[in-house]
Amino acid sequence: MINHFRRGKAQPQSDDLSLASELPGEAFDPATQQMVEYVQELIKTSLSEEDQLIMRLRAIEDYTYQEIADIMGMPIDTVSTRIHRARRILRNKI
C-alpha cells in the first residue's frame, strides 16, 4: 500500500473511509454503526479530499506525521496543522 502512496499523491476512494470494516474488534451494535456512518458522512462533506487522506493515513493507517509529510510531499508542520484543523472541524460538528 505504501508504494501506491509513494508513486504520487493518492486520492482516497469512496470506501477508504469505511471505518466499520477496517477497525478490529467485535461487530458494532446498531447505535455504534449509526455513529460511524454519521462521522464518515461528516468527514466526506467537511474535509477536502487531501485532508481526508491525511486523516486516514494518521487515524486508520497509523502513519507518523513525518511519514505522512513524505507521502504527501509537504512539510511536517503543514501536516500537523492540517490534522489539527481537521480534528477541530470534526469536533465542532459532532
Q: Specify the residue for cell string 473511509.
A: 17
Please report, for residues 40, 47, 54, the alpha-carbon distance to residue 11 in angstroms, rounded to integers and kept in the order given. Answer: 16, 13, 10
* Number of domains making up the chain: 1
In a domain, 22, yes or no: no
In a domain, 70, yes or no: yes
Instruction: Give how far the C-alpha of residue 12 lies from the chain's centroid of Cα atoms, to the nearest Å.
Output: 9
Question: Could you read off the pLDDT of 16-61 as tens digits, one per residue?
Answer: 555 445 555 556 688 888 888 888 888 899 999 999 999 999 988 9
| Residues 35/23, Cβ–Cβ less than 8 Å | no
In a domain, 92, yes or no: yes
Gap between the Cα atoms of 37 and 66, Å rounded: 29
pTM over 0.75: no
Domain region containing 69: 48-94
Q: What is the CATH number of the domain that holds 53?
A: 1.10.10.10
